[in-house]
């Protein structure tokens, strides 16, 4: 172990996650033969097979399962130890990985990316859509940060206070849902209230890894009512196009609507249900709190998004 290559620990971490040489190779951007060679070196170093082949992939040995809980902490400590204490954005070639809910792109990227490209011309940003696994990847430090929809209403499971203790956050902009209907919709001639809202069928967009909106929880908890959902999809632009051509009611985040509604002929109404507005939040692992490059990007996103939010 005196000549141990600590880069092998990252390979072991990914093998424990993927339990497949093929999956680990793809995640590490290595060939399968390279991962197999590194697995052989790990087995020699720990004097244990570490994984057994089964019909369902690699199964960790008792020794590998014993190593797993402390492995991630050791890797993060090594990263912290070797990370530069001074960050020069003009010279950095760091690659940041960010997960984002779909509606956050138009509220953040146009504001912070132009400054990033000027200040840090060699830095790259890789984004993926926020999903049900994103929080787990934040906890593992597999990604640098995420922008997700969170709530301040105490009735929501997505309340910001419910974030795991190891995650930190900053509110970017507050948001709340509004109703969209086509111009000439018959409800525009009626009194706008909860009964009218629930009289017509609805079009729903599920995004950000959620399976229902806080709105539906409040309707059920406080009114024992529910929306008649005609269509459920995952793309707001397509939903707004369908809303424009039907009598369906579409609920959408007000900030997003403010940016996108200019491309559609839709009438906007308040949601006739009372709850506390939520927000878009930048979330990261506290492991990165004092990382100068990470802090630089966080501050850039937070400042630009908050200023951009005041203009929309």
Give pLDDT, residue 111.
93
Give pLDDT, residue 312.
56
Q: How far is CA 2 from CA 49, 177, 218, 239, in A?
A: 20, 59, 60, 60
Q: What are 261-285's pLDDT values in tens digits?
A: 888 989 999 999 988 999 999 999 9
Q: Is the pLDDT of residue 2 over 60?
A: no
Among 210, 201, 89, which residue's Cα sits nearest to residue 148? 210
Record: fold of 95-174+279-311: D-Maltodextrin-Binding Protein; domain 2 (3.40.190)
Give pLDDT, residue 69.
78
Among 82, 2, 9, which residue's Cα sits nearest to residue 50? 9
The confidence band for 83, taking pLDDT boundaries of 50, 70 and 90, is: low
Q: What are 237-267's pLDDT values in tens digits?
A: 999 999 999 999 999 999 888 888 888 989 9
* Enclosing H/E stretch for 260: helix 254-260
Residues 82-100 have a mean pLDDT of: 86
The confidence band for 311, taking pLDDT boundaries of 50, 70 and 90, is: low
Q: What are 21-34's pLDDT values in tens digits?
A: 998 898 888 899 99
Give pLDDT, residue 262.
83
The confidence band for 110, taking pLDDT boundaries of 50, 70 and 90, is: very high
Sign of CA pseudo-dihedral 194, 280, 132, 62: negative
Phi-psi region of 132 (alpha: psi -120 to 50; beta: other; left: phi over 0): alpha
Question: Cα–Cα–Cα angle for 79, 85, 91, nearest 5°?
Answer: 95
The confidence band for 119, taking pLDDT boundaries of 50, 70 and 90, is: very high
**CATH second-level architecture of 8-82?**
Orthogonal Bundle (1.10)
Please state, for a pLDDT cut of 70, what percent of the chain lies above it.
Answer: 96
* pTM exceeds 0.85, yes or no: no
The confidence band for 207, taking pLDDT boundaries of 50, 70 and 90, is: confident
Give pLDDT, residue 128.
93
| Domain ranges in the chain with CATH number 1.10.10.10 | 8-82
| Domain ranges in the chain with CATH number 3.40.190.10 | 95-174+279-311, 177-276
**CATH second-level architecture of 177-276?**
3-Layer(aba) Sandwich (3.40)
């Amino acid at each position: 172990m005196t000549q141990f290559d600590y880069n092998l620990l990252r390979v072991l971490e990914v093998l424990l996650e993927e339990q497949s040489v093929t999956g680990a190779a793809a995640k590490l951007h290595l060939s399968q033969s390279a991962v197999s060679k590194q697995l052989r070196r790990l087995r020699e170093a720990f004097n244990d097979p570490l994984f057994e082949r089964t019909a369902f992939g690699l199964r960790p040995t008792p020794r590998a399962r014993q190593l797993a809980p402390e492995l991630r902490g050791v890797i993060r400590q090594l990263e912290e130890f070797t990370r530069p204490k001074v960050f020069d954005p003009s010279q950095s070639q760091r690659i940041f990985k960010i997960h984002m809910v779909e509606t956050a792109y138009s509220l953040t990227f146009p504001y912070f990316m132009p400054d990033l490209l000027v200040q840090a011309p060699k830095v790259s940003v890789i984004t993926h859509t926020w999903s049900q696994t994103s929080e787990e990847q934040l906890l593992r430090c597999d990604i640098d940060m995420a922008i997700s929809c969170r709530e301040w209403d105490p009735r929501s499971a997505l309340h910001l206070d419910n974030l795991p203790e190891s995650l930190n956050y900053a509110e970017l902009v507050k948001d709340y849902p509004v109703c969209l209907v086509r111009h000439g919709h018959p409800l525009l001639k009626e009194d706008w209230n909860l009964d009218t809202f629930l009289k017509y069928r609805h079009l729903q967009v599920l995004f950000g890894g959620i399976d229902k909106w806080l709105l539906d929880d409040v309707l059920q908890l406080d009114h024992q009512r529910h929306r008649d959902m005609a269509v459920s999809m995952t793309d707001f632009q397509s939903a707004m196009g369908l809303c424009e051509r039907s009598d369906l009611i579409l609920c959408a985040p007000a900030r997003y609507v403010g940016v996108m509604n200019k491309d559609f002929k839709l009438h906007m109404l308040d949601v006739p249900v009372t709850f506390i507005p939520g927000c878009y939040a930048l979330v990261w692992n506290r492991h990165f709190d004092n990382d100068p490059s990470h802090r630089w990007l966080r501050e850039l996103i937070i400042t630009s998004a908050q200023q951009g939010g005041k203009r929309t």
